[in-house]
């Protein structure tokens, strides 16, 4: 004769195996990878109006950056007028861009040109990476001193181009934010 308990155990085991096979076939087993494709041209409308001697700063948070072949582009303007008022003396300014070094990014800066323009030349005079008093590393990008006249409305349009190459698709670069601070120090031209 056959054992009724053993038959019940075999039926339960058979149903469990079938349920497991169905579950595995409906849920694919894959190894995912942090990789995606996107194109971005961020058109940030930042304007600095140099109307007096001052220290101007603006921060950009580069969140949600993903490695891609196309660069991220940020535009900003430095002007000697705000559309109504204009400087009353000749002014000069120094432009610095200070960035965190959380991601392996490459920066380019163009003045009154676009990065994709034929013959475009970088406005970067120097780049330096150094630790602050807390041990955090920052990259400082400097440009040549620029001068505005009081006699006419003038503006310099800048394009900051940020490259995050596709070679950095590893998950350890996921959810890391990069901060960029644009700093302008202006003063009167004293002859």
pTM (global) more than 0.75 = no
Residues 6+ apart with CB under 8 A from 1: none
- Residue of 191 and 147 predicted with greater confidence: 147
Q: Name the pLDDT band for 28 (thresholds 50, 70, 90).
A: low
User: By the 8 A CB rule, do 63 and 92 touch?
Assistant: no
Tokens of residue 81, six digits: 């007028």
Q: Name the pLDDT band for 109 (thresholds 50, 70, 90).
A: very high
- Residue of 140 and 37 predicted with greater confidence: 140
| Confidence at residue 60, expressed as pLDDT on a 0 to 100 scale | 81
Q: What mean pLDDT do residues 91-110 have?
A: 91
Q: Name the pLDDT band for 45 (thresholds 50, 70, 90).
A: low
- pLDDT over 60 at 37, yes or no: no
d(CA 93, CA 156): 11
Q: What mean pLDDT do residues 35-54 have?
A: 61
| Confidence at residue 43, expressed as pLDDT on a 0 to 100 scale | 54
| Confidence at residue 111, expressed as pLDDT on a 0 to 100 scale | 94
- Residue 105 burial (CB < 10 Å; 0-12/13-18/19+)? buried
Tokens of residue 190, six digits: 């004293």
- Domains in the chain: ranges and CATH: 46-188 (2.60.120)
């Amino acid at each position: 004769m056959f054992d009724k308990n053993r038959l019940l155990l075999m039926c339960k085991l058979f149903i469990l195996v079938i349920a497991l096979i169905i579950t595995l076939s409906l849920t694919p087993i894959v190894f995912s990878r942090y990789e995606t494709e996107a194109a971005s041209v961020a058109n940030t409308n930042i304007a600095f109006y140099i109307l007096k001697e001052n220290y101007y700063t603006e921060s950009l948070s580069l969140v949600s950056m993903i490695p891609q072949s196309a660069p991220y582009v940020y535009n900003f303007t430095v002007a000697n007028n705000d559309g109504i008022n204009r400087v009353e003396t000749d002014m000069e300014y120094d432009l610095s861009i200070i960035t965190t070094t959380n991601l392996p990014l490459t920066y380019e800066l163009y003045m009154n040109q676009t990065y994709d323009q034929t013959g475009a030349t970088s406005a970067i005079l120097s780049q330096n990476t150094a630790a602050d008093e807390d041990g955090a590393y920052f990259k400082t990008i400097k440009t040549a001193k620029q001068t505005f006249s009081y006699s006419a409305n003038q503006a310099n349009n800048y394009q900051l181009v940020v490259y995050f190459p596709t070679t950095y698709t590893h998950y350890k670069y996921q959810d890391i934010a990069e901060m960029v601070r644009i700093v302008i120090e202006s003063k009167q031209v004293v002859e």
